[in-house]
Amino acid sequence: MDEKSAMEKRYGRKSPLPLDQKKHDSSFTAPSDISRLRSRPVVYITAIIFAFLIITYGLPVRLSIFNPQGSPETIRTQPAHAKSNRTGLVPLEAHVMSKCPDAKQCLEELVVPAMEQVVDMVNFRLSYIGSVDDNDTLHCMHGQTECLGNMLSLCASNLFPNNAKISLGFSTCLIMSYKRIPSRDLVQTCALEHGISFEALNDCVSEEGKGLDLLEASIKRSQEAGVKKSCTVRVAEEIWCIMDDGKWTDCKAGHEVKDLVKEIESRYKPNATG
């Protein structure tokens, strides 16, 4: 049985991408509306991903960073099931696409500078926009490299569920250079800067890992919230502001950092615990 037939048998459906197809097509043109994705060639990240990472990144490397006291400390991932017992945190969520210029502008102008001030007041989440068809096939507007970028971000969040400084920092690092996702140099630099192990990321996005499930759940979360535009910022599960085609729209209380900080501070309940 050849590799392609084995994949079809394993996943119960044909792989929409020929195994010998070039995996990164820089000439890919994104559709203007997410609903049109069904008419595009299917982008399904399965067993190809792990091989792609191994070829692109080489063998996993072990990273270390310095703790606040200045002594080297190997990064250990936190259990994915870990949760904060503080129930007074304000839900803050940004729905993005990893290769979207609006996502870059949104994070750079609003989300990241606001998070620097309210990180201890919020339950922060990055969610991703895409589609899932009737065959449970995942689609990303800017192609399979965006799906991989989304998955890398979600895997970082899964590895550090209670540390938005690490997970958001890593994701922002990728999105600031979104045209290069998922180049080796970019991912290596972002992982190194934020103390994330390549081995752990590789395990997560491999065919036996959690990456596909995380991406599917994230896409469905955005769909259930009625979010279609990257970047959409939600506070307490309500749309607060949208960055669309380089402009802020549908912003009920302003779109500046001070406005978002004020919104979070007004909703924060510091003494609530669970």
**Helix, strand, coil share (%) of the chain residues, nearest 5:** 45, 15, 40
Asked whether the predicted pLDDT for residue 131 surpasses 60, the reply is yes
- Give burial (CB, 10 Å; 0-12/13-18/19+) of 140: buried
Q: In the prediction, which pLDDT does 198 show?
A: 85
Backbone φ/ψ region at 208: left (φ over 0), alpha (ψ -120 to 50), beta: alpha
pLDDT digits (tens, 9 = 90+) for 170-202: 999 999 999 999 988 899 899 999 999 988 998
- Residues 145/98, Cβ–Cβ less than 8 Å: no
By percentage, how much of the chain surpasses pLDDT 90?
57
Question: Within its chain, how far is the Cα of 26 from the centroid?
Answer: 21
Average pLDDT on 247-274 reads 90
- 123 three-state secondary structure: strand
Residue 86 has a pLDDT of 59
Q: In this predicted structure, what is the pLDDT of residue 272?
A: 65
Residue owning tokens 């839900």: 91
- pLDDT tens digits, one per residue of 44-85: 444 445 445 544 544 333 322 222 222 223 223 333 333 444
Q: Strands 122-128, 131-132: parallel, antiparallel or unpaired by DSSP?
A: unpaired
Per-residue confidence band for 235, with pLDDT thresholds at 50, 70 and 90: very high
Min mean pLDDT across 90-94, 124-128, 149-153, 266-270 is at 266-270
